Chains A and B, each alone.
Chain A
């Protein structure tokens, strides 16, 4: 297992390196001279030269990258062009609501997907199967932002059960925070469940066909234990990995859902930053987003190594 974990960590570092290069390259490709932009009305040739050399922009690309990555690794993501705040501060503050939304959606999604996936597999090709899988495809195909708007329309405007938008951190006010999370979490969570329910179903079906299930049945293990103990223990392992890998998709979905529900997360931050040409913020947000996806992938892989005896015990 140690070897597996080490090799995964190595891979992760390689990917992080590639990601940083991609982001660095992207930001360098933005048209316009950042020095000019920063100076704005205070432009003089001398100031220009000075600022340019201060920012290291007169050096080669590789050196610029090294400067940049050095600053990033020490936590310096630059300053927001707009309000001169530290980007790292802005981005981290925005990341928290996004994370809260993602976790809430994960919970909702799993709560929906697991039972429906199991039922669909156990009653394969029955009305239950087609029904729950049809529902899964339906919610998976619905654009999440539209779904959010419809949910707002029905449950907020029409029925008045939930607030239309806004965010309150659950730790500052648990009830209010949770209440405001319900609709966004359902929006993103149902999308996620659509994906996962199908995977649980196929994983379970595949496992139920395996020889060891047949052998266990031949030993007299009852149907309930066969499914919920023998089959699920095996079927859930790849599902856990898949759920983890979907963190990236969820993050992408969160970006849209935040906009619908006016949650002050990464989505709102990045879009506003792009429209305002505040590229330092865009870069910081994307960097944090992608790094978190990569780290989650790594954690999921390690969890997998732990769950699968074949890897955990040489």
Chain B
């Protein structure tokens, strides 16, 4: 079910993020490639520290360089965002590509009123008069479901609950009609009931407005509800990429299989699965396949040679010697 695969909104190729530290150069994101089409929701899933957030931040060049260093290509509307000038990039940020973060309360400047910040988000991109923008702010607040927008716009961020704040962030994000929305763990800090509302909002954006969405999460449940396609990341690398059905019904990579086995099931009374061990830190990556120390089916080859990401079936890629012997 590939949406607009012919002309992807975002085309990431060989994205690599490195950091120079006292202990040497650490590669937090290693050669990540994917596409997102119009109206498509692509999920980026993995444990904490797998490099998902960094991947999403790298797209808009939000990583501080130095000490970071980003390589590769991020093609958006025919341009490589990684080599774009700062001013052109600032034009795209917030207007064509919007991003929302994990902790909505912390994403708003505590000393400015919320309405002011929303206004600013638009004023940087749209040369309209403040009065007109102010009306738009109220309109957007209403559309994302904030009651009495007139009063709320004059409030400060600390007066908003987590759910309300995230709606504000989404409102700000779509205020300039972006083609791509990057959502980095948008519901992790929220209650389950609010989660559902926020996710519904995002889904509507994709469906009704055709916004392409990159959804980063460690929560497989959310990924399964929301996404059309999924990328599984482990220790900085993409280990599997497929449609959401394929990932959940026929996971190919042992890590993905392990993750899905960890999900509690309604039927059956078996024990909760678990993957023994822990993801290696960036400074202590094992040779060969990064997952092999924890892998139940690892072979001697896995210890030596890192498996490349290659097609197992059409539209289903995996990086595993066992799943895809070459």
Contact = CB atoms under 8 A, between A and B. Distances in A.
Interface of A: 210-223, 230, 233-234, 237, 307-310, 313
A146 B292 CA distance: 68
10 contacts: A212-B110, A214-B107, A218-B62, A218-B93, A221-B120, A221-B124, A234-B110, A308-B111, A310-B110, A313-B156
A220 B124 contact: yes
A310 B158 contact: yes
Interface of B: 57, 60, 62, 86-87, 90-95, 98-99, 101, 103, 106-112, 117, 120-121, 124-125, 155-156, 158-159, 169, 172
Nearest to A214: B62
Contacts of A220: 90-95, 121, 124-125
A307 B156 CA distance: 13
Which 9 A-B pairs rank lowest in CB-CB distance, beginning with the nearest? A220-B94, A219-B94, A215-B107, A220-B93, A211-B106, A309-B156, A218-B99, A212-B109, A219-B121
A276 to B, nearest CB: 52
Given A313-B156, A313-B159, A237 B111 contact: yes
Contacts of B125: 220
B107 A212 contact: yes
Nearest to B59: A218
Contacts of B109: 212-213, 216, 230, 233-234
What is the predominant secondary structure among interface residues of chain A facing chain B? helix
A285 B254 CA distance: 79
A215 B107 CA distance: 5
B132 to A, nearest CB: 19
Contacts of B91: 220
Nearest to A218: B99
Contacts of B120: 219, 221
Given A220-B124, A233-B109, 5 more contacts: A216-B117, A217-B93, A220-B90, A222-B87, A230-B112
A215 B90 CA distance: 12
Specify which of A216, A222, A230 lies most central, judged by the most chain B CB atoms within 10 Å of its CB. Answer: A216
Contacts of A215: 99, 101, 107-108, 169
Contacts of A222: 87, 90, 124
A214 B101 contact: yes
Contacts of B101: 211, 214-215, 218
Given A211-B101, A219-B172, A221-B124, A309 B111 contact: yes
Contacts of B159: 313
A185 to B, nearest CB: 31
A175 to B, nearest CB: 40
Contacts of A234: 109-111
B33 to A, nearest CB: 22
Specify which of A214, A219, A233 lies most central, judged by the most chain B CB atoms within 10 Å of its CB. Answer: A219
B111 A219 contact: no
